[in-house]
Amino acid sequence: MEVRRATVDDIDVMAHVLATVAEEGTLGTEPPVDLEVRGQRFRELIEGQGPSAMWVLEDGGRVLGNASVSETRTSGVLTLGMAILAEARGRGGGRRLLEAILEHARSQGAHKVELEAWTDNARAIALYVSTGFEVEGLRRNHYRRRDGSLRSTLLMAVLLDTSEPEPA
């Protein structure tokens, strides 16, 4: 398996990967995924200016997963999302995507990479912690899902610039 930057030629297959993974409920995105809208969003991430970027995880030319970062709310803070098809998990692909993201974030001068994960997403949380992410907060019963349930997330982040620690 290898990780490379995504191109516009990957947009359709990446949208299908996201739609497949969304069916599990592990992502914030709920099914059914609008492939056209999602594809447009991916295009903006790939072609846009600034630190936004996308990567694909592929094996033998087949795209098995993708990851993205974008500067959503705060300058210098990149928000990440990632999804790998169930059949391709547990083989280090998630770790490789994260390494590519962190290398990119550093090269862009970002000071933090952040994400949100469902509190019961043990696999993802374990991977993030092992890569240096820390829990910054809990959003308790924050998200109402289409089935009416309320779900909680962990706010997680990794600091890339620790040169100016907060005053005690």
Q: Which is nearer to ligand COA, 11 or 80 (CB)?
A: 80
Q: Which long-range contacts (CB under 8 A, 24 or more apart) does 21-24 make?
A: 21/83, 21/84, 21/85, 21/86, 22/83, 24/86
Q: Within positions 22 to 81, which residues make up the interface with ligand COA, using CB under 6 A?
A: 26-27
DSSP secondary structure, 27-40, as one string: SSSPSSP-HHHHHH
159 near 111, Cβ under 8 Å?
A: yes
129 binds ligand COA (CB under 6 A): no
Residue 83 Cβ vs ligand COA, minimum distance, rounded to whole Å? 5
C-alpha angle 66-72-77 in degrees, rounded to nearest 5? 90
What x-and-dash track marks residues 86-125 binding ligand COA by CB under 6 A? ---xxxxxxx-------------------x-x---xxxx-
Specify which residues 118 forms β-bridges with: 153
Residue 24 Cβ vs ligand COA, minimum distance, rounded to whole Å? 6
Tell which one of 77, 84, 100, 101 touches ligand COA (CB under 6 A).
84
Sort strands 77-84 and 112-118 into parallel, antiparallel or unpaired: parallel
Note the residues at the interface with ligand COA (CB under 6 A).
21, 26-27, 82-84, 89-95, 115, 117, 121-124, 126-127, 130
